[in-house]
Amino acid sequence: MRQALTAILLAGFLTAQAAVNGVDIADNTVEIVYNGTTATVNVATNISKYVTVSSGTSSHVVIKQAEDFTGVDATADNEDGEIIYTLSGKSDDGEFYLEGSFKASLELSGLTLTNPNGPAINIQNGKRISVSVQKGAASTLTDGANEKYNGCFHCKGHTKFKGKGTLNVVGNSRHAIYSKEYMEVKNCTINVTAAVKDAIHCKEYFFMESGTINITAAGDDGIQVELDDENANTGITADHEDENTGNFYQKAGTLSISGYTGKAIKADGTITYSGGTQNFNTADTQTTSVAPITNSSSAQTSYYDLQGRQVKTPKKGLYIFKKGNTIVKRLYNN
C-alpha cells in the first residue's frame, strides 16, 4: 500500500515537473508569468534550443531568440512558425526585454507590469512584432524615467496591435508607445493616460484599421508619424507593403485625443480619415507632406527651396510648398 501511494505521489510530481519544463506547453510558445519580484518562464520543447533566458527567475525578464531562428512548425494560425510570448501576472518592478531577428508575437493576458527604471516592454527586434491584447482582462504597462529609451512600450521593428482586449499605457519617461517602424491597430482598445512626450510615436506610417484609441494626456503630440528616411520615401504602396511615407491613415474605429500640448496629430506625410470617428479637433493637426506633385497652379501656390528662397519655376526636386495656410515639404515632378 505504501509503495503504491509512493508511486502515485511520484507520478504526480513528475507530471508537475514536466509542465514546468515545457512539455505541456503549446509548440512555439514561451510563457512568462510575473509574480512580484519574480517571474516564471516556461519554454516549449520544440523551440528550447532557439530561446535563451538569461534572467533566471528575476521579474526583469531578458530573452534572446537565436540568430539562426527562422520559424518552425508552422500552422494555419501561425503560418510563419514564429515564437509566441504570452505575458501575464503582475510586477511593480519588472520588465520584458526581447532580442531577435525574426518575427515574433506577444500575447498580453491581464498583465500589469511596471518598470521603475525604463520600458515595461522593450523589443530589440527589427522585424514585425504582433501584439495581441487578449479579451477578458485589461493589461497595463507603466515605465520609469530613462531617457535612453523612447517609450514605455518600445519596439525596434514594426508593431501590429490587435485583439479584443484593452491595453493601458502610462509613459513617465518619453513616449507612451514607440515603434521605430510602422504601427497598425485593429480591434483592440488602447488607452494612453500619460506621456511626457508623444502618446504614440512611430515611423514609416500609422494605420488604424479598427478598434479604439483614447489619448487623454500627452506632453507633446497625441500621435506623431515620421518618415524613417526622407530620402527613401516610397510613396503610397499597395496594402502599405514596405511603405515609408510618414502618412497617417484611419479607416474605421474611434480615435479620441485630448490633454496634449502639441498637435493632435503630426505627420511627415498626409493625414487621411476614410472612416471611423474622430473625437478631437481635426484642424489642430500638422503635416509636412513629402509626396509627388503631378499638377501645380502657379496662381494658387508658391514654392521655396530648402533655404527659404522663393522659386518661380521649380525643377524636379524637394521644395517647400505653400498653399493658403498650408505649408508642406514635397517632391516636385516637372
Q: What is the mean pLDDT of residues 281-305?
A: 64
Residue from 257, 196, 187 nearest 223 by CA: 257
How is residue 167 written as a grid cell? 491595453
pLDDT higher than 50, residue 21: no
- The answer to which of 25-34, 200-209, 322-331 has the lowest mean pLDDT is 322-331
Q: What is the mean pLDDT of residues 79-87?
A: 97
Q: Are 158 and 181 in contact (CB under 8 A)?
A: yes
Output DSSP code: residue 58. Answer: B
| The model's pTM | 0.82
Give 189-222 pLDDT, tens digit per residue: 999 999 999 999 999 999 999 999 999 999 999 9
Q: Are 227 and 244 in contact (CB under 8 A)?
A: yes
**Using CA atoms, how far apart are residues 228 and 268, in angstroms rounded to an integer?**
10
Q: How far is CA 179 from CA 43, 67, 163, 239, in A?
A: 27, 22, 18, 19
Q: How far is CA 204 from CA 74, 247, 297, in A?
A: 29, 7, 29
**Using CA atoms, how far apart are residues 147 and 334, in angstroms rounded to an integer?**
44
Give 105-160 pLDDT, tens digit per residue: 999 999 999 999 999 999 999 999 999 999 988 999 999 987 789 999 999 999 99
